[in-house]
Structure 1
Amino acid sequence: MTADIPHRTTASRATDRPGDESPFALGLLLRRAHLRAATVMTEALRPLGLELRHFAVLIELVNHGPTVQRDLATATGSDKAGIMRVVDDLERRGLAVRKAVPGDRRARAVEITPQGRELFDAAHVAAEPLAERLVAELGPGEPEQLTDLLTRFAHPAGGEA
């Protein structure tokens, strides 16, 4: 028995190449852009002994202050075990600490330390030349335009994911 699969007489192939009209084209281009950006960010963080997963947690802690682990997992797209490993790594390095949450004996909030904030700031300095290289092919004003478009795409007005 075969499933009812819609057929097109001129099927567009998903390629992530310029001009691709496939319904998958945008997703594939975003994936390729993500991989390229992640490679650059990884290169910037490596000399500091950080991985992207660690930096993602530091970003959340800088932006939101002390945060419980389940919220860090949600914000970073991690699972419970994964976020525990990342927080353990950050604690071992003195970049974050777990503190009791008043009124909830089981919950622990993760807080960035002064050393963590220093490393966070150092990562931005290290990333600056690499970020410039990432957008070197774009024309004047286009990096800002790309950032604006991606921001609106990632954070739609209606709050949809």
Structure 2
Amino acid sequence: MAVDVPHQTTASRATDRPGDTSPFALGLLLRRAHWQAAAVMAEALGPLGIELRHFAVLIVLVNRGATVQRDLVTATGSDKAGIMRVVDDLERMGLALRKAVPGDRRVRAVEITPRGVELFDAAHVAAEPLAERLVAHLGPGEPEQLTDLLTRFTQSADDKT
């Protein structure tokens, strides 16, 4: 099956270089920024024995309290099997535990343990100098401006779903 592709010449090809005007530029830049930030956060979490996927669940548990596994799927953008593996890991490490939900024997809520809270706090301490390094090349006030813009950008996207 042939695809009808317009044959117009574009001055810009999709890149993630400064000044790219293609419709893909923002997504490509956000992808690169994600890779850089994820690498820094992985560097902070590694010595603590967890990965970013574990920390993402801990964030939800700290923010929401006990959370049913299906809601963890939605909150983290993971899939059901992935969340099961992460929660299994967190339980094995003593950072979270599953509890029965009253009134529904099939549903389990995941709750952070005191050890999980300690690790969560330790992760923030470990990440602080690395996060500063991540934005060190920005000017005064720019890290806060970037955070504000990304917060508004992601909140806007969240409102549409």
- TM-score normalized by structure 2? 0.96
Counterpart residue number, 2:25: 25
Partner residue of 1:159? 159
Shift of residue 11, structure 1, vs aligned partner = 4.1
Query: Who is 2:136 aligned against?
Result: 136
Q: Distance in 1 between matches of 2:46 and 2:138?
A: 26
Code of the aligned partner of 2:78: S
Corresponding position of 2:148 = 148
Q: 1:4 Cα shift? A: 1.6
The equivalent of 2:99 in structure 1 is 99
Give me the CA root mean square deviation.
1.3
Report what 1:112 is aligned to: 112
Task: Give the aligned partner of residue 73 of structure 1.
Answer: 73
Unaligned runs of 5+ in 2: none
SS at match of 2:87: helix
Q: CA deviation at 1:8?
A: 2.3
CA distance change for structure 1 residues 140 and 74 in 2, over 3 Å: closer, same or farther? same
Relative to structure 1, is the Cα distance of residues 61 and 158 closer, same or farther in structure 2, using a 3 angstrom cutoff? closer
Helix, strand or coil: the match of 2:94?
Answer: coil
Q: Which moved more, 1:149-158 or 1:75-84?
A: 149-158
3-state DSSP of counterpart to 1:156: helix
Aligned to 2:56: 56
Q: What is the TM-score when the length of structure 1 is the normalising length? A: 0.96
Gap change, CA 1:102 and 1:35, over 3 Å in 2:
same
- Counting aligned pairs with the same residue, the percent is 83
1:26-83 CA-partner distances (Å, limit 9, x unpaired): 0000000000000000000000001000000000000000000011011111111110
| 3-state DSSP of counterpart to 1:137 | coil
Say which SS state the counterpart of residue 100 (structure 1) adopts.
Answer: strand
Distance 1:82 1:15 in 2: 31
Amino acid corresponding to residue 50 of structure 2 in structure 1: L
> What is the number of residues matched between the two proteins?
161
Question: What is the SS of the residue equivalent to 1:62?
Answer: helix
Q: Note closer, same or farther for the CA distance 1:47–1:157 as it changes in structure 2 (3 Å cut).
A: closer
After TM superposition, give the deviation of residue 7 of structure 1 in Å: 2.9
Q: Could you list the structure 1 runs, at least 4 aligned residues long, displaced by more than 6 angstroms after superposition.
A: none
**Equivalent-residue separation in structure 1 for 2:147 and 2:46 (angstroms):** 24
